Amino acid sequence: MNKSRKNKSFFLLATGILLCACVYYLFKEDVEKVTLILVGMSALIAAPFLFNHTSNLLLAIVFLTPLSIDLTIGDGFKLSAPSEIMMLLVVGIVVLKFLGGLKFEKRIITHPMSVLILLLIASLVFSTVTSVDPSISIKRTISQSIFYVVFYFFLIQFLTKKEQLKKVYWLYGIGLIAPIIYTIIDHSQWEFVQPASVYASLPFYDEHTIYGACLAFIVPFLVLDITNKKELKWKVIPKLIFLSLVLIALFLSYSRAAWISVVVAMLFFIFTRLRLRFYHFVGIVLVLFGVIYFNFNSIYGTLKENSLKYGDNFSTHIVSITNLQNDASNMERINRWVCAVRMFEEKPILGFGPGTYQFNYGNYQTNEFTTRISTHMGDKGNAHSEYFTYLSETGIVGFLVFLSLLFYSIYLSIKLLYSGLDKSTKLLVYASILGLITFYIHGLFNSFIDSQKMAILFMSSLAILVRIDLNQGPKKNLVSYSTK
């Protein structure tokens, strides 16, 4: 009884302090701090009720991620509220559960995907030790590690049923409805012209490329779910309306990389329907890479002759992705990639350190590749590629581990698809790998793994593949505990 009274007193005291702080900042007209405090109060009040329902808390984070808005705290530190606040809450809850005797399923840790992720985190840590700016790298490494812990390890641990895994995509999609409607309305005020699409998705998504990438990620799931023959007809209509809304939003995002990624995902779907094997996939990738590598000069010369600029016309907008003559966006990407390679050549083993690219690449620009939008201020983003980011920031070690993770996820999905799964489980595997394919293709042109908006989709999809794989294995090694 005394313990119960002490707990109540603590929560009342903490809530009272937060309420006073909220009133103070309200008078100071500091809206961001008021919002942050209100979210903190909600989390504090809800914590006791959510302690035994970790799975629901994880699903709530998935739903709230598209709706979250960045808040600036202290000296430029950004926090996405309420999703990242809830993420920290779930970390605290799970830590308390472990102290209370909860044990991790051993097969999760020993699974090859998990081993690769742990190696990737280790590469971030080692790169941080040798970083040119440890303060930046420490923040980035901690952020990335927490994302993997919550969206990969915790999700596998607590979401064990197929129905729960399916909710990941549906809840993220439902959470996207409000941002989509808001973005379309805002964009309509500018008559849907391409330039206005760049920041129409603010404040929910920083700009149109990450907005388009997240839309592209869930398109395969929505299409596959609608084509499920077991679905009742009356349920198909609202799903069809939702898919139409997502496709319209994807088109209006004017994200060329997102459009292309969906097409490549469709090609991969055909690849698996032909029941081609993983070594066929590797062979195709190697042939494409070889063709580009040995014909790079002629290909680059041809692209430099294309002068079609991006705009409102769909076909012109697509073709403009190869314009290296006067398209500043494309030319700047080449500039960033060249800088990343030059940085890699200087620090090839462990790189410059996580998060340091944007603050150092300016010193590696050359007159040949700089554009009218180039800068030396470190205020215009990253390497515009997941692969070049890893190469420059974590060196060959982190780059190879990330590539291994990519190829293993494709290998695992092909293995699962050909293993005689039931239809609904196969749908989940397809949704995961096709979404990941859009991420991998988009990663050629942009880097979004540091954003929770994309990280939750990427890491959760890896987790879903692993959970399905574990569920197909022997059950005798399962640890007995509550998965609430």
Q: Do the beta carbons of residue 211 and residue 201 sit within 8 Å?
A: yes
pLDDT of 290 strictly over 60: yes
> Mind listing the pLDDT tens digit for each residue in 384-395?
999 999 999 999
CA-wise closest residue to 443 among 251, 165, 216: 216
> Mind listing the pLDDT tens digit for each residue in 9-61?
655 666 666 667 666 665 665 656 666 666 666 666 566 655 567 888 899 89
CA-wise closest residue to 238 among 148, 165, 173: 173
Chain centroid to CA 197: how far? 21
AA identity, residue 466: V
pLDDT of 324 strictly over 90: no
The owner of tokens 């974590």 is 394
Round the average pLDDT of the chain to a whole number and report it.
85
Instruction: Please compute the mean of the pLDDT values over residues 343-356 and round it to a whole number.
Output: 96
* Secondary structure letter of residue 79 according to DSSP: E
Separation between Cα atoms, residue 365 and residue 259, nearest integer Å: 30
Q: Do the beta carbons of residue 137 and residue 354 sit within 8 Å?
A: yes
Q: What is the pTM of this model?
A: 0.88
Separation between Cα atoms, residue 61 and residue 168, nearest integer Å: 10
pLDDT of 227 strictly over 90: no
AA identity, residue 72: T
Would you state the structure tokens that stand for residue 182, as one six-digit string? 């808001």
pLDDT of 76 strictly over 70: no
Measured N-to-C along each axis, helices 208-226 and 452-472 cross at an angle, to the nearest 10 degrees, of 30
Residue 366, sorted as left (phi over 0), alpha (psi -120 to 50) or beta, turns out to be beta
pLDDT of 484 strictly over 50: no
AA identity, residue 100: G
Q: Do the beta carbons of residue 191 and residue 252 sit within 8 Å?
A: no
Domain boundaries defined on the chain: 2-106, 107-484
